[in-house]
Structure 1
Amino acid sequence: MKIRFGYVSHAISLWDASPAKTLTYTRYQQLSVQEREKKLLEVTKQNLDHTLRMLYYNLSHELELYRFSSSIVPLATHPEVRWDFITPFRSEWQEIGSLVRKKQLRVSFHPNQFTLFTSPKTEITENAVVDMTYHYQMFEAMGIEQYGLINIHIGGAYGDKQQALARFHENLTTLPTPIKKVMTLENDDKTYTAEETLAVCEKEGIPFVFDYHHHMANLCQAPLEELLPRIFQTWSNAPYLPKVHISSPKSEKEFRSHADFVDPEFVAPFLKLLKEFGQDIDFMIEAKSKDQAALKLVENLGKWRGFKRISGGTIEVK
């Protein structure tokens, strides 16, 4: 059994490398028409360059998983701004995609919590489709729309979870089929448990990204050992191994908040369970210290009996 590790968006070990530099709409409004275009191009170019830096950093550390920032393009989905962020940067997008394909990296996006399909408000669903389309367009520009995945949560319950779930299935029909094909769903730490999210995934034919920390904060009735085979099965038609999100609590009092690093003892029961199944799997580390947390966890686990570090970002479990 092998476990590959990755991290979210920003390698904090690199100097001034954020791939999510911003331009607010307030600032945008203060600029002249010419200044607006110049600033949009400037910030996007910087974010694309930093994204490429991140990928080379990952390759040098043998980290094969990476979540792109959703904020590469400033104001991309703002109704008063929406602009062509593809044409001016065709070579940059293609260079990123070419590297991903050549090195067979596993990449994804994770839109924010407002991208949801459970709302009773039509405009919320419409905005969710716009945001999912934006992420898909970035994959298309890179030429990896068949390989990248876009992960979201189910959304809110709005006082009636069953009604909200019914709306989710109905509203999801407004999402273009090619985008739905690269979509994944994740359980959350307050509302939809792993068991509930899994049922939605099974009904819609969507791979399930299991979040262990969220699961521990929002337990379901079914034991995890019963859910795991079904979770793995949702990935049977996907081009990738099952993926899980890994983090640990900041403290007992702030249990839902992510710590800077991952406490190996917190994830030990989950690792023990995975070992029994022997399923190769990918870990996306969601700790605050990003790349440093991923590499530290690999280092720590590599010292455990039966766990062997076989590359910068991969552990073999025997």
Structure 2
Amino acid sequence: MKIRFGFVSNATCLWEASPAKTLTFKRYNELGQEEGRQKLLEVTKQNIENTLRVLQYNTAHQVELYRLSSSIVPLATHPDVKWDFVTPFAKEWEKLGDWVLANNMRVSFHPNQFTLFTSPKPSITENAVKDMEFHYKMLQAMGIADQSFINIHIGGAYGDKNSAIIRFHDNLRSLPEHVKARMTLENDDKTYTASETLRVCKREGIPFVFDYHHHLANLSVEPLNELLTDVYTTWEDSNSVPTIHISSPKSASAFRSHADYIDIAFIMPLLKALTELGKDVDFMIEAKMKDQAMLKLIEEMSRIRGVKRVSGGSVFIK
């Protein structure tokens, strides 16, 4: 069983390489239309350049898994801005995609918690569709839309989980099919358990991204090995192995918060269950120290009997 490792957005070992530099709408307005538009171009260009730096850093470390920042383009979906963020950077977007393809990298997006399809308010659903289309448009500009994923949570329960689930299925019809085809769903730490999320995934034909930390904070009744078996079935038609999110609690009293690094003892039950399944998987590290946490975990796992490090960013477990 091979496990590839990746991390989210920022490479902490790189100097001044944030791919998520911002421009607020307030500042954009203060600058005026012409200067504000120029600032949008400058910030976006820098974020794309820094994204390429992180991708190059990943390749240098043989890391083939990476979550792109959702904040590469400031104000991309703001109703009072509505600007073309693709045309001015056509070559730059293409360069990102070329690097991803040339280096066998798997990338994804994870829009924020407000991108959801359970709200009773039509405006929330409309904004969710716009945000999903925005993320798809970035992947399309890179030329990797047919192999990358956009991951979200089911959303809120609004006091009635059964009704919210019905709304999710109804509201999801608003999402264009080509965007839905690149969508994944993740269990959360408070509302929708892994088994509840799995049911939605199976009905909609959507791959399930299992978050182990969220699972322990919001347990399902099914045993872990049964859940994982079902997780794999949702990925059968995706041409990809499952992605599992990995983090560990900051403390016992702040269990849902992510620690700086991964406590290997915390994830051992997951590793044991996956080893019994014997199927390849990708681990997305969600610890606060990002790439440093990833590299530390790989190093620690490689010291375990039966685990062999086969590249800078992957291990093989017998």
Q: Give the TM bin, normalised by the shorter chain.
A: over 0.9
Distance (Å, rounded) in 2 between the aligned partners of 1:225 and 1:66: 26
Partner residue, 1:231: 231
Which amino acid counterpart does residue 166 of structure 1 have in structure 2? Answer: I
Partner residue, 2:251: 251
Q: What CA deviation, in whole Å up to 9, does each residue of 1:74-127 have, x standing for no partner?
A: 000000011000000000000000111111100000000000000000000000
Distance (Å, rounded) in 2 between the aligned partners of 1:189 and 1:227: 16
Partner residue, 2:39: 39
Partner residue, 2:155: 155
Which amino acid counterpart does residue 192 of structure 2 have in structure 1? Answer: Y
Partner residue, 1:22: 22
Where do 1:113-192 residues align within 5 Å?
113-192=113-192
Distance (Å, rounded) in 2 between the aligned partners of 1:40 and 1:159: 40
Moved more, 67-76 or 216-225: 216-225
- 3-state SS of 1:115 partner: coil
Distance (Å, rounded) in 1 between the aligned partners of 2:201 and 2:61: 33
Which amino acid counterpart does residue 210 of structure 2 have in structure 1? Answer: F
Q: What CA deviation, in whole Å up to 9, does each residue of 1:36-67 have, x standing for no partner?
A: 11100000000000000000000000110000
Deviating 4+ runs (over 4 angstroms): none
Distance (Å, rounded) in 2 between the aligned partners of 1:272 and 1:229: 13
Partner residue, 2:93: 93
Partner residue, 2:216: 216
Distance (Å, rounded) in 2 between the aligned partners of 1:86 and 1:135: 12
Which amino acid counterpart does residue 158 of structure 2 have in structure 1? Answer: Y
- 3-state SS of 2:185 partner: strand
Could you tell me the TM-score, scaled by structure 2's length? 0.99
Distance (Å, rounded) in 1 between the aligned partners of 2:160 and 2:195: 17
Is 1:284 aligned to residue 288 of structure 2? no
Distance (Å, rounded) in 2 between the aligned partners of 1:281 and 1:271: 11
Q: What CA deviation, in whole Å up to 9, does each residue of 1:112-151 have, x standing for no partner?
A: 0000000000000000000000000000100111011000
Partner residue, 2:83: 83
Moved more, 31-40 or 15-24: 31-40
Distance (Å, rounded) in 2 between the aligned partners of 1:284 and 1:257: 16
Distance (Å, rounded) in 1 between the aligned partners of 2:195 and 2:32: 51
- 1:240 deviates by 1.1
Distance (Å, rounded) in 2 between the aligned partners of 1:88 and 1:286: 32
- 1:239 deviates by 2.1
- 1:222 deviates by 1.1
Could you tell me the TM-score, scaled by structure 1's length? 0.99
Which amino acid counterpart does residue 285 of structure 1 have in structure 2? Answer: I
- 3-state SS of 1:185 partner: strand
Where do 1:61-76 residues align within 5 Å?
61-76=61-76
Structure 2 gap segments, 5+ residues each: none
Distance (Å, rounded) in 2 between the aligned partners of 1:266 and 1:33: 51
Structure 1 gap segments, 5+ residues each: none
Distance (Å, rounded) in 1 between the aligned partners of 2:192 and 2:32: 45
- 3-state SS of 1:309 partner: strand
- 1:226 deviates by 1.2
Percent same amino acid at aligned positions? 64
Distance (Å, rounded) in 2 between the aligned partners of 1:309 and 1:222: 32
